[in-house]
Amino acid sequence: MAADWFKCKGDVWCDLFKINLNHETLKMTGVFIIWIEDGNSRKVLRVGKGDIEDELTKCKNDIVMQAFMHKGLKVSFTPVIESQCKSIEVYLYRTLSPTVNGSIPSGLPIKINLPWKQY
């Protein structure tokens, strides 16, 4: 599945702690990825699905995510049909192996391009 991952103004990855969570673009159902960039390396902390505005608000208020605030957490998201969210989350979880995540999703994965790569 080809996805158009969201970037913030200036065509840069959004910072979880600076993004306007009341912005119209966050009012969607979809999947998201939160990561840390360090030069050429990338460490994915969390992947998730659901109402993007609500889910990112939870992440922003999560004490574990706040512990990484000084690292500049990057976030991107893309709209997904609700019935496909769980399967795409399964794919993202298996592909990216996030280090800070809730429960491990199960089910059949649906492949989606990652924000950093073309499909």
pLDDT tens by residue, 39-70: 788 999 999 999 999 999 999 999 999 999 99
Residue 28: which domain range?
14-96
pLDDT of res. 1: 82
In a domain, residue 111? The reply is: no
What is the Cα–Cα distance from 39 to 95, expressed in whole angstroms? 21
Residue 20 within any structural domain of the chain:
yes
When pLDDT is cut at 50, 70 and 90, the band that residue 119 belongs to is very low
SS3 93: helix
Averaged pLDDT for residues 4-27: 92
Within-domain flag for 101: no
Domain count of the fold of the chain: 1
Q: Is residue 30 part of a domain?
A: yes
For the record, the structure tokens of 68 come out as: 């990484």
Backbone angles phi, psi at 70, to 5 degrees: -65, -15
Q: Is residue 106 part of a domain?
A: no
